[in-house]
Structure 1
Amino acid sequence: MKMLNLKKSTLATALALSMILSVPAALLQPTGSVYAADASGTTASIAEVIKNQQSDGGWKKDYAVTSGDWAKSTIDNKATYTEIRRLAAEFKKTNNSQYSAAAIKGINFLLNLQYANGGFPQIYQSSGYHTHITFNDNAMINVVTLLDEVANKKGDFSFIDSTLAGKSKQAVDKAVDCLLKTQVTVSGKLTVWGQQHDSVTLKPAGARAYEVPSLCSSESVGIVKFLKTRSSTTAIAASIKAAEDWFKAVKITGIRVVKTADDVVVVEDPSVTTPIWARFYEIGTNKPIFVGRDGVVKYKLSDIDQERRTGYSWYGNWPSSIVN
């Protein structure tokens, strides 16, 4: 086995790795890593959910934030669509119309949030990268999945009237059209999707400094899975096949991604045949890319700063659920 780009200063790390090379080929983050927490609505009481619904019908990610874009209604980190689901379930359990009314107001917010081209931004009436069509963390796909249930009056949404169900169906249809139009074409060949796309040009767009325009394996899996729930058309079938072909073409074998006490290190191991994928691939070359807070693209995980190596999911097995 060969360590990738380990410097002399990391001798202790290399020795430690010799004790843990049996770690599965999936990214395991150091225990000290900090990640964005799920939105407040995932753990708040129903009373708090009702209290924190905003005048536009949505919810902010962190109920405690009072200014800036993050004080606006959003679909980031499970916000808004989680509150709607919880309210619908509570109405079904209690038959209290306060909960159904709040859920309906939330659904109408999602319909208002949608762009004419079918995409959904991360934050309502926001600025900067928050305006991009956001596939990151499956935000748009989770919203469209909910609206599809509303359209079919499925599960806890059996109380929805036909008018709102019809509007939700139209929104889902528009979203599918957006998914097909945003799939990235390289040299005339369909590939997959970016983590977010410009709301006007529909091209992959950057967000935070370390999230540059690229092809994203993680979020593309969620899109493919959703497309597979749709009635097949020539366009949908071609989209799914192209994405699956791309996943197969860029899979990575022969490495382990290993955690230490304070780092994440890539180790060459030819015996590893179970594939993993990089989260981001360079458009046009399909090379895995890694980016630190300086925004500079690197081609090896070891070349970015330690804080970003340990603070982001750069490798994973996301496509394994749909391709061999």
Structure 2
Amino acid sequence: MTTCTDYIRKNTETSPLTQSRIDAEAGSLKTAFTTYLTTSNNARAADKASLKAERSGLSSVPSARGSDKTGPDTMPLSETASYYAGSSALAIAREIVSFQVPSGAWGKNMVRTGVVRAKGQSYIGSNIDPNGSGATDWNYVGTFDNAATTTEIRYLAKVQAAQSTDRSTFQASIIKGLNAILAAQYPNYGWPQNYPVSGMAYHDAITLNDDAMLNLIKLLREIGTSSNSDFAFVDTTLRNKCAAAAGNGITWLLTNQVRINGKLTIWGQQHDVFTLKPTPARAYEMAALSSSESGKIVKFLMSLPNPDAATRTAVYAAADFFKATQIDGKAWVSGALVSDSSKNSWARFYDLSVYDPTASALAARGRMLFGDFADRHGAASSVYGLIFGSTTAVSAERLTGYAQYNNVAQSLLTSFTTWSASNPKP
């Protein structure tokens, strides 16, 4: 294993949120986190009890709907008002409500067909067992991953704004979803990937991956600032709660931008709930700086009106990082970094101990990292994952099946040129 080209080290599995961790690590937030975990566990138990009650007496359990990563495309958010006023959108909205987990969120990658959920059917795209105790028996039952929950809420909001039929039902579902998002925010202002929390490793980490936390902040901020008329029905009390949660989420982002050798850089893909440092996720995703998610965070920060000194400091520092680590004239295509004069690229992951923007060599400015499954390199079954310093030894599947490089920061740096002209560095 260690003879693989550019092998660096083993990846490790992160720790979930548990009462023992709260007792040992939460400090002054111990009571708040204990209450949070109790509330979450109770909500999860109630979700299971609800499905169990539905299935009682059924001769057979309906098959799960199935899911696909194109699922969000079946809830389009950029159609004309006439679309949302139509019968197809109405049917999809009714289906969305029927699949809402009792605690308020939704499953991910659900393909919406306009067919409502059958009694006893899984709330999510895969089979779940309310009586099971295995890791996969009740997983992602209420999640923010892959734009889940925020997409459903936004779609319902557009339909209720255009329809008179079932409007109150859709509004109630939206409010229930918003309350779930508010309940899911940790006492230190981050959000986990799933709610109720699953107690499964990285799922409980503060999740920036796939823009989960950023999507929540954007939605809550739109509602809290009354900038999205689709949510005009939301009352002042809930609107204020949304504004406060979004503001606290932005504070979390500004507070937890990673420093390396005293210099602000960018953010991790996920951060530990207590140490607040970047933490591993899947076997091929190590604790590291994450360029893709960070690029979108910076774009969001630049969209905020009248940015204060803390926001401007964060943006300038991130822009410096992206300028220093930019790979000119390259694009990631079909598992390879190829020449393309119109594109600049960045590795998805960068080491947490290496950052020197003044170094003459690109490799010395930031150390790129690449992950892979351990079993593809003959590692022992106990090894969680492997980390490499290049893609040379990474398996073909992880090259073609994962974005090892991206160009998210390219448009960011273009926008930064204009933004910085009117927003001076503090």
Partner amino acid for 2:170?
Answer: Y
Q: Residue 310 of structure 1 is aligned with which of 390, 397, 400? A: 400
Match of 1:247 in 2: 322
- Equivalent of residue 100 in structure 2, options 50, 53, 69: 53
Could you give the per-residue CA deviations for residues 131-172 of structure 1, whole angstroms, max 9, x where no partner exists?
011111111111110111111232211111110110001001
Shift of the 42–136 alpha-carbon distance from structure 1 to 2, 3 Å rule, reads farther
Aligned to 1:22: none
What is the aligned length?
A: 285
Q: Distance in 2 between matches of 1:196 and 1:41?
A: 25
The residue correspondences of 1:99-178 to structure 2 (distance < 5 A) are 99-124=170-195, 125-127=197-199, 128-153=201-226, 154-178=228-252
Which range moves more in the overlay, 48-57 or 205-214?
A: 48-57
Kindly provide the amino acid, as one letter, of the partner of residue 279 in structure 1.
Answer: R
Residues 234-275 of structure 1 deviation map (CA, whole Å, 9 limit, x = unaligned): 11111110001000000012545443xxxx2345x6x84742
Does residue 280 of structure 1 match 2:377? no
2:149 is matched with which residue?
80
8 Å contact from structure 1 (residues 41, 83) kept in 2: no
CA contact (8 A) 1:251 1:277 kept: yes
Deviates further, 203-212 or 70-79: 70-79
Q: Is the 8 A contact 2:331 2:344 kept in 1?
A: no
Q: Which amino acid aligns with 2:148?
A: A
Q: Report the TM-score when normalising by structure 2.
A: 0.63
CA distance in 1, matches of 2:332, 2:107: 35
Amino acid of the residue matched to residue 328 of structure 2?
T
CA distance in 2, matches of 1:75, 1:210: 21
Residue among 10, 24, 37 paired with 2:69: 37
**Superposed, which structure 2 residues align to 1:203-214 within 5 Å?**
203-214=277-288
Counterpart among 119, 122, 125 of residue 64 in structure 1: 125
- 1:225 corresponds in structure 2 to 299
Distance between the aligned counterparts of 2:204 and 2:176, measured in 1? 22
CA contact (8 A) 1:69 1:123 kept: no
SS across alignment from 2:336: strand
8 Å CA contact 2:327, 2:345 repeated in 1:
yes
Match of 1:215 among 282, 289, 292: 289
Q: Distance in 1 between matches of 2:353 and 2:342?
A: 26
Q: Per the alignment, do residues 73 and 274 of structure 1 end up closer, same or farther by CA in structure 2, a change over 3 Å counting? A: closer
Query: Does the C-alpha gap of structure 1 residues 91 and 232 become closer, same or farther in structure 2, counting only changes over 3 Å?
Result: same
The answer as to whether partners of 1:39 and 1:77 remain within 8 angstroms in 2 is no
Unaligned runs of 5+ in 1: 6-34
Retained in 1: the 8 A contact 2:265–2:321? Answer: yes
CA separation in 1, counterparts of 2:409 and 2:271? 21
Q: CA deviation at 1:192?
A: 0.1
Alpha-carbon distance in 1 for matches of 2:331, 2:298? 26
When normalised by structure 1's length, the TM-score is: 0.82
**What percentage of residue pairs aligned between the two structures are identical?**
39
Point out the structure with max Rg over C-alpha.
Answer: 2
Single out whichever of 294-303 and 104-113 deviates more from structure 2. Answer: 294-303
Q: Corresponding residue for 1:20?
A: none
User: Would the alpha carbon gap of residues 162 and 273 (structure 1) be closer, same or farther in structure 2, given more than 3 Å must change?
Assistant: closer
- Secondary structure of the structure 2 residue equivalent to 1:288: strand
Question: Residue 293 of structure 1 is aligned with which of 364, 368, 373?
Answer: 373
Q: Which amino acid aligns with 1:281?
A: Y
The whole-number CA distance in structure 1 between the counterparts of 2:68 and 2:286 is 19
How far did residue 222 of structure 1 move?
1.3
- For 2:367, what is the secondary structure of its paired residue? coil
Instruction: Judge which range, 224-233 or 39-48, deviates more.
Output: 39-48
Q: Do the aligned partners of 1:214 and 1:282 also contact (CA within 8 Å) in 2?
A: yes
Please list every run of 5 or more consecutive structure 2 residues that lacks an aligned counterpart in the other structure.
6-66, 76-90, 111-123, 130-136, 355-365, 375-384, 415-426
CA distance in 2, matches of 1:265, 1:82: 32
Note the C-alpha offset of 1:86: 1.0
Q: Quick one: distance in 2 between partners of 1:314 and 1:210?
A: 10
| DSSP-derived class of the 1:60 partner | coil
Q: Distance in 2 between matches of 1:38 and 1:166?
A: 34
CA distance in 1, matches of 2:333, 2:242: 44
